[in-house]
Amino acid sequence: MKLTTAGESHGRALVAVIEGLPAHLKIDVEKINADLALRQSGYGRGGRQKIEKDQVEILTGARNGETLGSPLTLCIYNKDFENWSNVMSAGECDAVAVQKKAVTKVRPGHADLTGMQKFAQTDGRNILERASARETAVRVAVGGVFKTYLEVLGVKIAGYVREVCEIKDENDYSFAEIEKSKTTELGILNSELSLRAKARIDELKKSGDTAGGIVEIRVQGLKSGFGSMMTYAQKLDARLAQGLTSIQAVKGVEFGLGFDSARTSGKNVHDEIYYEDGFKRKTNRAGGIEGGMSNGEEIVVRVAMKPIPTLMKGLQTVDYVTKEKTIAASERSDVCAIFALEIIAEAVVAEVLANAVQERLGGDTVAEVLERYQRLP
């Protein structure tokens, strides 16, 4: 399958085209919209979420609620575009309005400076509009389609927030328990830690600062053998890491024990194998992936998000045009978007896994894919 997305933060719309989906996959638009609402929620979000109420529209590739096998096109219209049409129009824009909204005080931690140099721009808006995390809205919509595809096979994805700005939840949770995280305000399952994290976010908001954090994503029900050790590009953990680090503000990914596996000896790292009505492992320190392939255990992946780089009290920087010392520009932003990251990360994991499944099994219809999956050991 192939995914292409397009659109700018304050442009007319965000669009995605998925090629290669099998026919007869039932698309539940309301379920996708529920995920989009979750992406816009969570403690510490900013003013943009009050303007937009994201709703997906299917433009092509489906009829009567089912995919046709042709490219599926999804669209989310930006409601805020009506306030920005004289600045973000694809046609001629209002020169005065464009100058008023121009960004030259490049922001540390953003794509502004490097993007302006790379694409020979003098207005950072031509960079930040695409670099913005607003783009993840359509990725969540796409993820809803891929999650539906995987659910047909009995594969489920869930996640929760493990850490916010050094406040850590190190408890062990079952898959069923972490499925409840979306009913919380911050995605943290431990109520006491959640209160502490919210208090930390409040402190940061008062001081004009921001917070990052860590989310954990789990995948249940994926059989062994997806991905391959034969080439680097086929390794499942490599593909997941690439997909997850493509999310704005993500700076780290680990599987299973992750970095802790480097801090102990082999006997405490590797999962011993047994045979009891099939090959089994009593531990899952590898996080469900060995040799670049799923091994049938739960996939466990954690994603680290840096603090949002748009600070209300801007950092020291330079004006790109005048080269003078100044304070970084402030765009409307969040204090903490870790709950949103969990939703986005689920969507990206679903995209990567659905592609790995379709590559291995093929199939022009959902029934063919399911039949081939059920024949696997």
Of 213, 298, 302, give the one whose Cα is nearest residue 261. Answer: 302
CA 315 to each of CA 48, 92, 320, 330: distance values in angstroms, whole numbers, following the listed order? 22, 33, 15, 10
Look at residue 314 in the predicted model and tell me its pLDDT.
Answer: 82
Burial class (CB in 10 A: 0-12, 13-18, 19+), 122: exposed
Confidence bin at 55 (pLDDT 50/70/90):
very high
Mean pLDDT of all residues in 134-142:
97
The C-alpha atoms of residue 304 and residue 253 are separated, in whole angstroms, by 6
Categorize the per-residue pLDDT at 47 as very low, low, confident or very high, splitting at 50, 70 and 90. low
Polymer length of the chain: 377
pLDDT tens figures, 225-260: 999 999 999 999 999 999 999 999 999 999 999 999
Distance CA 294, CA 353 (A): 10
Q: Where are the domains of the chain?
A: 2-374
Give the separation between CA 357 and CA 373, rounded to whole angstroms: 9
CA angle, 145 then 226 then 173, to 5°: 70
Fold of 2-374: Chorismate synthase, AroC fold (3.60.150)
CA distance 148 to 134: 23
Q: How far apart are the C-alpha atoms of 17 and 5, rounded to whole Å?
A: 6
pLDDT digits (tens, 9 = 90+) for 293-324: 999 999 999 999 999 988 888 899 999 999 99
Instruction: Please determine, for residue 48, whether its predicted confidence score (pLDDT) is greater than 60.
Output: no
Type of residue at 70: S
Q: How far apart are CA 144 and CA 348, in angstroms?
A: 10
Mean pLDDT on 124-136: 96
Please classify residue 51 by burial: count the beta carbons closer than 10 Å to its beta carbon, then call 0-12 exposed, 13-18 middle and 19+ buried.
exposed
* pLDDT tens by residue, 81-108: 999 999 999 999 999 999 999 999 999 9
pLDDT at 332: 65
Residue 329: per-residue pLDDT: 80
Q: For the whole model, what pTM was predicted?
A: 0.96
